[in-house]
Amino acid sequence: MKKILILTRFRGEYEPTRLKKEAIGLDCEADTVNYEHVRLGVDESGKPEIDLGTGRSLVEYDLVIPRAASARGKASLTGVKTVMLEYLEKSGKNTGVINGKSFKLYPLMGKLEQGVLLSQAGLPAIPFQSFNGKKGWKSYLDSDPILPVMVKMRFGSHGKGVRLAETMEKLVKLSEKYNEGTVLIQPVLKVRRWYRVIVL
């Protein structure tokens, strides 16, 4: 029976839950592990140790699915993700890694980077603005933005803290609330459906 490891920041979210369900449906064993619960170290003989808390070593899995390693209001765990993927690559084992090459090229790949790469390739992408701090807000507000827009923090919101600004007054209020850290602003889509795409 094939073994699949799903690495994530939030085990109860839709994507890791659905991935595990589909894996089990395909007669695979599946473990979901939070990056925060991974213990890294070096043993007394000088060999690296990675404890997943699953009772299995990293190289015992046939497939690893490393999801985003950002965090809501916390430091990113991209470093933990990087160490684990490099360990797998150098292990000489045949463990498959979904999007492993993409992560190596773009370790901080997110909505912004994806949007830029899509547009460079001539593919449609949702327009966005992203900036940091009061100066960024001033420049954006002075640009006479088209409303309505959605405002959120760039990293780790996972659907929480997303705000709708239908008026300039509301947008100004949000600029006062979200003036620390990088924000992401996108137009409101007219399609009243919520899509999630997972490639299995």
Q: The domain spanning residue 163 has which CATH number? A: 3.30.1490.20
Examine the domain organization and report whether 98 and 141 are in the same domain: no
What pLDDT, on the 0 to 100 scale, is given for residue 99?
80
C-alpha 2/C-alpha 29 separation (Å) is 6
Asked whether residue 113 is domain-assigned, the answer is no
Q: Which two tokens stand for residue 30?
A: 């599946």
Examine the domain organization and report whether 44 and 91 are in the same domain: yes
Sheet strands (E) in the chain:
3-8, 29-34, 39-42, 48-51, 63-66, 96-97, 129-132, 149-153, 163-165, 182-187
Model confidence pLDDT, tens digit, residues 87-98: 998 998 889 998
Provide the whole-model pTM: 0.66
Number of domains in the chain: 2
Asked whether residue 114 is domain-assigned, the answer is no
Asked whether residue 121 is domain-assigned, the answer is no
Model confidence pLDDT, tens digit, residues 146-196: 999 999 987 655 567 889 999 999 999 999 998 888 899 999 987 766 666
Task: Yes or no: say if 52 and 33 are a contact pair by the CB < 8 Å rule.
Answer: yes
Confidence of residue 114 (pLDDT cuts 50, 70, 90): confident
Examine the domain organization and report whether 160 and 94 are in the same domain: no
Task: Yes or no: say if 190 and 171 are a contact pair by the CB < 8 Å rule.
Answer: no
Examine the domain organization and report whether 79 and 131 are in the same domain: no
C-alpha 125/C-alpha 115 separation (Å) is 6
Examine the domain organization and report whether 28 and 99 are in the same domain: yes
Examine the domain organization and report whether 22 and 100 are in the same domain: yes
Examine the domain organization and report whether 21 and 65 are in the same domain: yes
- Residue 96 has phi, psi (to 5 degrees) of -80, 145
Question: Which of 71, 105, 139 lies at the terminal end of a domain, its last residue?
Answer: 105
| Three-state DSSP string of 86-112 | HHHHHHCCCCEECCHHHHHHCCCCCHH
Examine the domain organization and report whether 25 and 92 are in the same domain: yes
Residue 148 has a CB neighbour count (10 Å cut-off) of 13
Q: Is 6 exposed, middle or buried (0-12, 13-18, 19+ CB in 10 A)?
A: buried
Asked whether residue 198 is domain-assigned, the answer is no
- Helix, strand, coil % (nearest 5) of the chain? 35, 20, 45
Model confidence pLDDT, tens digit, residues 32-55: 999 999 999 998 999 999 999 999
Examine the domain organization and report whether 46 and 99 are in the same domain: yes
Residue 183 has a CB neighbour count (10 Å cut-off) of 22
Asked whether residue 136 is domain-assigned, the answer is yes
**Domain, as residue range, for 77:** 3-105
Asked whether residue 111 is domain-assigned, the answer is no
Examine the domain organization and report whether 8 and 101 are in the same domain: yes
